[in-house]
Structure 1
Amino acid sequence: MKKYLSSFYEVNEPILESYISNWSAYTVPKRTIITESGKTERYLYFVEEGIQKSYYLNDGKQHVMFFAYAPSFSGVVESFLTQTPSKYYLETITDSKLLRIPFAKHTEWIQKHRELETLFRKITESFLLGIIERHHELMAFNVETRFRNFAQRSPHLLNMVPQKDISSYLRIDPTNFSKLINAINI
């Protein structure tokens, strides 16, 4: 986690280590809902092992918004940051080993240390750029290009995540996704 955080912004080592010491281990079995729609996200998670998905339901159908896997943050970030009910679900796809910090403790540390506030601003900027890029990809690229980009960015997920979840994430009809995965050499 320390290496991951430091890749965004260098924080004084004793401050960073003290902050990280506030995170606790949290192990979750596969196919477990961590955060439900309508509930407020109380923790920010850091993925050490495993894969999670965030999705919303529309007429009972899941629409996958993102996958989280090591090393990265996980959780319903907008609910965590605003402490308002989530519009989405967060569920484990595989057994997951996470670290987590409660909202109050995280807020206390970033208010107390300007360096941590800067670190999380830079992380938020990076996430925002990723969301903008994903939105552009969904709007501007055809299904084959979206699939190829995903396969290049996260090839390991093709074998670890159900195809229905990946096709939902890429906004590709499951039948077309199946044809793509069989027709394109990766």
Structure 2
Amino acid sequence: MKAFFTKIHPVEDEILEEYLSHWSPHSTSKKTILTHPGKTETYIYYVKHGIQKSYYLNEDKEHIMFFAYSPSFSGVVESFLTQTPSKYYLETITDSEFMRLSYAKHQELIQKHRSLETLFRKITEQFLVGIIERHHQLMAFNAETRFTQFAKRSPHLFQLVPQKDIASYLRIDPTNFSKMMNSIKI
């Protein structure tokens, strides 16, 4: 975790050590719902092992918004940051191991240390850029381009995540997705 944070923004060792000392291990089995719609996200998660998905239901159909896997953060970010009820589910796809930190402790420490506040501003900026890029891909690219870009960025997920989930994430009809899996080299 320390190396992950340091790549984003350097923080004085003693401050980063203090911050990291408040993160606690948390493990869950696959298909565990960590966050439900209507519940406020009280933790931010750092993924050590495993894959999670965030989704919403519309007419009982899952619409995947993102996948999280190591090394990255997981959780329903807007619910965590604003302490408002989530609109989405956060569920483990595989057995997962995390480090997690409560909102209250996170707030206490970033208010105490300016360098931690800067670190999380930069993390939030990276998250925002990622969302904008994803939105651009969904709006500007055809299904085949979205598929091939995903295959280049996250090829390991094809072996670990159900095809229906990847198809949903890419906004590709499952039948067309299956055809692409058979015709496009990954």
SS at match of 1:7: helix
> How far apart, in 2, do the equivalents of 1:5 and 1:88 lie?
26
Query: So what's the TM-score if we normalise by structure 2?
Result: 0.99
Residue equivalent to 1:96: 96
Q: Offset of 1:95 from its aligned partner? A: 0.1
SS at match of 1:45: strand
Residue equivalent to 1:47: 47
Q: Offset of 1:148 from its aligned partner? A: 0.3
Q: Deviations over 1:106-148 (max 9, x none)?
A: 0000000000000000000011001000000000000000000
Letter of the structure 1 residue corresponding to residue 79 of structure 2: S
Q: Does 1:72 align with 2:78?
A: no
Residue equivalent to 2:167: 167
Residue equivalent to 1:179: 179
Query: So what's the TM-score if we normalise by structure 1?
Result: 0.99
> How far apart, in 2, do the equivalents of 1:102 and 1:161 lie?
28
> How far apart, in 2, do the equivalents of 1:38 and 1:60 lie?
17
SS at match of 2:8: coil
> How far apart, in 2, do the equivalents of 1:134 and 1:40 lie?
25
SS at match of 2:68: strand
Quick one: percent identity of the two aligned structures? 69
SS at match of 2:126: helix
Instruction: Report how many residues are paired.
Output: 186
Q: Offset of 1:176 from its aligned partner? A: 0.3
Q: Does 1:114 align with 2:114?
A: yes
Letter of the structure 2 residue corresponding to residue 18 of structure 1: E
- Note the residue ranges of structure 1 that are not aligned, 5 or more in a row: none
CA RMSD of aligned residues (A): 0.4
